[in-house]
Amino acid sequence: MLKMMIHMRRYAWMLAAVVVLLAAQAACELWLPTYTAAIVDVGIQQEGVESPVPEAVRESALEGMLAGMDAETAARVRAAYAPADEAALSRLGVTERADTVLILREDADAAALEAAFEGLYAEAAGLAGMSGDAARQAAIAAAAAEYRALGMDMDGMRSRAIWKYGGLMLLIALAGAAAAAAVGYLGSRAAAGMGRDLREKVFARVLSFGQQEMDAFSTASLITRSTNDIQQVQNVTVLLLRIAIYAPILGVGGIIRALETNASMAWVIAVGVALVLAIVGVLFALGLPRFRRMQEQIDRVNLVMRETLTGLPVIRAFVTQKREEERFDAASTALRKTQLFVGRLMGGMMPMMMLAMNGVCVLILWVGAGSIDAGNMQVGDMMAFIQYTMQIIAAFLMISLISVMLPRASVSAGRIQEILDTEPAVREPETPADFDPAQAGTVCFEDVCFRYPGADEDALSHLTFTARPGRTTAILGGTGSGKSTLLNLIPRFYDVTGGRVTVDGIDVRSASLAGLRARIGYVPQKGVLFSGTVRENLTFGSDGIPDAQVRRAAQVAQAEGFILEREGGYDSEIAQGGTNVSGGQKQRLSIARAVARKPEIYLFDDSFSALDFKTDAAVRRALGQEAADATVIVVAQRIATVMHADEILVLDEGRLAGKGTHAELMESCEVYRQIAVSQLSKEELAHGTK
């Protein structure tokens, strides 16, 4: 998963902004319990009185207070007060003026006065051995009593305190919400951008894969990795940006605030965190093995679905719909069971977490009630402690949730990285060699051997031949003799394991792939068309082909007739995979696509098998005229297709069993003769040897 973060480099400024905003959001969250406690303690319990030092006091009441202090402290306190004028009394709302009223000087030392009054009331109430909170509350209660004696508006003082702290809470909450919204926006943009970049990189790497890599991964798995796996990584990246930074800040800040509120109850926080970690640990141990299995089962569902859709005509022809339904149901049921297990596991986590959190709340209330009764804690402080504890547990819960979700994302990240780390077996040379114009179109096999990866024996053994411009070289042989394999070595779909293949006088491994394949017009065994128009398919991979050349290619492939019959002609739409054209039409369009490039070398991999004999003959005749100066290499099953070739290569179990013209091979090659006798009548054989 860490390797995936490398792909976030281009979004560094967004990540920096997210960190700053998350710190601001966490700070807002941590301030809210403080103001909640202030509303309860100051606004309600203390009637809006915040300080134990009275702002206004009757002179007789102050003298009584000074009597309980030592001489030095009493002198300092008395000096802090001065007789009040009418304006000051009006500002403070004093209505009872039977005695001289004194007010606190503006330059008085507030901290020293608070210590003096708290000490006075602690001694007077016999609370010297108790916490400072109890002494402070006694002093504040005395100040409130004095305010009432002066006729001050205590209801108004209480309301002002509640509105003050409530307004601050609202502003902080709005600031936190704004920060959270900005984090969500920036985090989603960064994660979505990373997902897009990953898809582009995976797609580009898959395009560079040869057949060897495609066989190793499978098409279904590559689709899953390019979609579902990247989506998993993208989703977890959003959570990481949102939680992995926010949760530690919230947790550490919550611990500091909670200890400042009441350090004696720290053990309650430890109990709550331990409960959360224990629950998550169990879920982690049970869920981790299922995540990899889930991704593999998604691969399996995609594979079965793809095979079914691709082979639908065969399935219907053999009436195996029921079997395919059962096969898909088995794959889908296995995935459903795994998803249900994981879903139930994750679904059961939240009730257990809520039970743990509520249990911790009850524990705090039980312990806090004793502290409140003993005068060591206020109600508001207990409420703040509960909120801080919930924030701490929530932070650990968020971190734990990430740790539970990370394994599945790590599995997906590993599967994606596996594609990105796979180097194609067929690579571009560091310094491509230049093609020799004097040998343009010449294809030469020099003692070529080839073995598929993991195979026990060679698919091709010691093949040597040369195909030249203006000549047609045909490759014939039984099923599995290596015909298509031989053809795939020329455009470097595979690399030889022995010997070498040269095109235009240079080893194909020394040529640039683009330069090599630009010289080749390749028609695969199975015609492949892409969604788009007929014209787009015929000019596929070749920009700037004029319309006249496109029409000429269609005529050579005997495709123009059915193209013009379609509504829109060359601009008519081809469905995905060419499903709205027949097999023969698809094959003719594939041939026309190769002809439209006007290549030096034509490679036909059994590309006439879907054509009737008449169309086959017409295509070969037109092709002979169009490609008169090109090198033509044809793989065929039917001898009638290749019997007039300039040279025929006969393959038998990967070895060259014969080489020559039809007449020469009928005399010298037993393998060729057996194939010919099995396919042609005596008259056709006699005609072909003339």
Percent of the chain with pLDDT over 90: 11
Q: Is 207 within 8 Å of 285 (Cβ atoms)?
A: no
Taking residues 94-109, what's their average pLDDT?
Answer: 82
Q: The whole model's pTM is what?
A: 0.66
Which of the residue ranges 434-443, 449-458, 527-536, 679-688 would you say has the lowest mean pLDDT?
679-688
What mean pLDDT is predicted for residues 496-521? 91
CA gap 322, 547 in Å, rounded: 49
CB 176 within 8 A of CB 28: yes
352 pLDDT above the threshold of 50: yes
For the segment 47-57, the average pLDDT, to the nearest whole number, is: 85
In this structure, of 260-274, 329-343, 470-484, 521-535, the range with the lowest mean pLDDT score is: 260-274
Residue with the larger pLDDT of the pair 659 and 609: 659
As a whole number, mean pLDDT of residues 382-405 equals: 77
Tell me what pLDDT residue 55 has.
Answer: 87
Mean pLDDT value of segment 614-635: 87
* Percent of the chain surpassing pLDDT 70: 94
Each residue of 161-214: pLDDT tens digit? 889 888 998 999 999 999 999 998 998 898 888 889 889 989 988 888 877 788
360 has pLDDT over 50: yes
599-612: per-residue pLDDT in tens?
A: 999 999 888 777 77
State residue 690's pLDDT score: 46
Reply yes or no on whether the pLDDT at 568 is more than 80: yes
Strand partners, 130: none
Supply the pLDDT for residue 122.
Answer: 66
- What span, in angstroms and rounded, lies between the C-alpha atoms of 67 and 552? 119
Our CA angle for 294, 295, 300, nearest 5°, is: 95
pLDDT of residue 130: 46
Radius of gyration of the chain (CA): 43
Residue 129 confidence (pLDDT) = 46
Q: Which of 22-31, 186-195, 237-246, 440-449 has the lowest mean pLDDT?
A: 237-246
Cβ(515)–Cβ(432) below 8 Å: yes
Residue 356 confidence (pLDDT): 79
User: What is the band of 530 on the pLDDT scale with cuts at 50, 70, 90?
Assistant: confident
Q: Quick: pLDDT tens for 215-253.
A: 778 777 888 888 888 888 888 888 888 887 888 888 888
Tokens for 667, please give them. 């005399």
- Shortest CA distance to 1 belongs to which of 182, 198, 203? 198
Residues 355-360: contacts with CB under 8 Å, at least 24 apart? 356/272, 356/275, 356/276, 356/279, 356/393, 357/272, 357/390, 357/393, 359/275, 360/268, 360/271, 360/272, 360/275, 360/389, 360/390, 360/393
Longest dimension (CA), the chain: 143
Q: Is the pLDDT of residue 127 over 50?
A: no
* Long-range interactions of 406-410: CB distance < 8 A, separation 24+: 406/1, 406/236, 407/284, 407/287, 407/288, 407/291, 408/232, 408/236, 408/291, 408/294, 408/295, 409/1, 409/232, 409/233, 409/235, 409/236, 410/1
DSSP code string of 72-136: HHHHHHHHTEEE--HHHHHHHT----SS-EEEE-TT--HHHHHHHHHHHHHHHTT-TTS-HHHHH
Which residue carries 């399996």 as its tokens?
Answer: 300
